[in-house]
Amino acid sequence: MSNANFAGRGGVITRIAPHATGHTWARDGTLLRVDCEGGIGWVATHYDPSLRVIRQVRGSDADVHRVAAYWARGSEKP
């Protein structure tokens, strides 16, 4: 997954690696989370600054991490 830059967060660059779960901040200040669902699939969740779910995608490891990378860069669709 691509690196995401974080405005106002000291220039920290972080990422959610493929085949891994975790969370990170997108460029626009929203939160991204990637989780494995009981060994059956993966889910990426995009939260607004108030931590309400904006959108959620379920699918394969590669598909979910690709979508999360687009969200981290501030893109709507992969």
| 40 domain residue, yes or no | yes
- Provide the whole-model pTM: 0.74
Residue in 78, 5, 68, 12 with CA at minimum distance from that of residue 36:
68
- Return the SS3 of 27: coil
SS3 11: coil
Domain that holds residue 65: 4-14+23-73
Q: Is residue 33 part of a domain?
A: yes
Asked whether residue 78 is domain-assigned, the answer is: no
- Cβ partners under 8 Å of residue 44, min gap 6: 32, 33, 34, 56, 57, 64, 65, 67, 68, 71
Please tell me the predicted confidence (pLDDT) of residue 21: 87
Tell me, yes or no, whether 52 lies in a domain: yes
pLDDT, tens digit only, all 78 positions of the chain: 334 343 444 333 347 887 888 999 998 889 999 999 887 899 999 999 999 999 999 999 999 999 998 998 876 665
| Domain tally, the chain | 1
Is 50 inside a domain boundary?
yes
DSSP single-letter state for residue 26: -
